[in-house]
Each structure stands twice: as C-alpha cells, then as structure tokens.
C-alpha cells in the first residue's frame, strides 16, 4: 500500500482537546477505508509565517498514513470540507523518516 505524510493546520481558537478529537476523526476515516495510521504527531500551537483567514497561529498535526489511494482521496475531501482546518498538505513517500534518529545522529556529529 502507498505511504503518505499529511500535515494539517487547525484554527488557533480550538482547544487542544478539540484538535485531538479532529485528529481522531481523521484516523477513523483512514481505518474505515482499510488503511492504518502509523503515527500521529501533534506539534501544538505555532505561529504562522503569514495570516491565514485572520489567524496568526495554528495547531499543527502530522500523520504518517498507509492506505489505498481512494481512501486518501476521501480523507482529503473531508479535510477540505472541514472549516476548522486552515491548510493541509499530503505527500506520497517511499518510506517514513524517523526524525528523532536523524536529530540524534546530527547531535553526535556535532559533539565529535
């Protein structure tokens, strides 16, 4: 099955519990479509580079998803319809990258 990375930005006036609920609803869409979410990473409230719909900040959430293409299309359609999501981007990847392992390698090189 294809692998996808999806990052979305939710409105700043949502509570962290609402953002978690939003992430859970997207996970449910994927699992109902015979896919699975490998990892969900909530980056929290961050400043945006520019204003989007009068918002200066947004909650960032990263998903590592393994699912068929029609399931991903349906998930993107529902993300576009959700008014709480300011922006999203989905990329098809060959493999998921473990960012923590890369950070540790960089720190070891800098220390040496």
Question: Which residue segments constitute the domains of the chain, with CATH numbers given?
Answer: 3-111 (3.30.70.60)
Residue 111 pLDDT class (50, 70, 90 cuts): confident
CA distance 109 to 26: 38
CA distance 52 to 55: 5
What does pTM read for this prediction? 0.82
pLDDT value at residue 104? 66
pLDDT value at residue 8? 94
Contacts 24+ apart (CB under 8 A), 107-112: none
Tens digits of residue pLDDT in 32-80: 999 999 999 999 999 999 999 999 999 999 999 999 999 999 999 999 9
pLDDT value at residue 96? 79
CA distance 90 to 88: 7
Count of CB atoms situated within 10 Å of the CB of 82: 14
pLDDT value at residue 101? 62
Count of CB atoms situated within 10 Å of the CB of 89: 10
């Amino acid at each position: 099955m294809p692998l996808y990375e999806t990052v979305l930005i939710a409105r700043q006036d949502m509570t962290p519990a609402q953002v978690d609920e939003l992430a859970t609803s997207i996970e449910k869409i994927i699992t109902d479509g015979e896919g699975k979410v490998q990892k969900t990473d909530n980056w929290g409230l961050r400043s945006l580079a520019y204003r989007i719909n009068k918002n200066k900040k947004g909650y960032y959430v990263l998903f590592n998803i393994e699912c068929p293409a029609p399931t991903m299309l349906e998930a993107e359609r529902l993300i576009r319809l959700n008014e709480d999501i300011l922006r999203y981007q989905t990329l098809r990847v060959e493999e998921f990258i473990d960012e923590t392992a890369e950070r540790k390698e960089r720190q070891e090189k800098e220390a040496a």
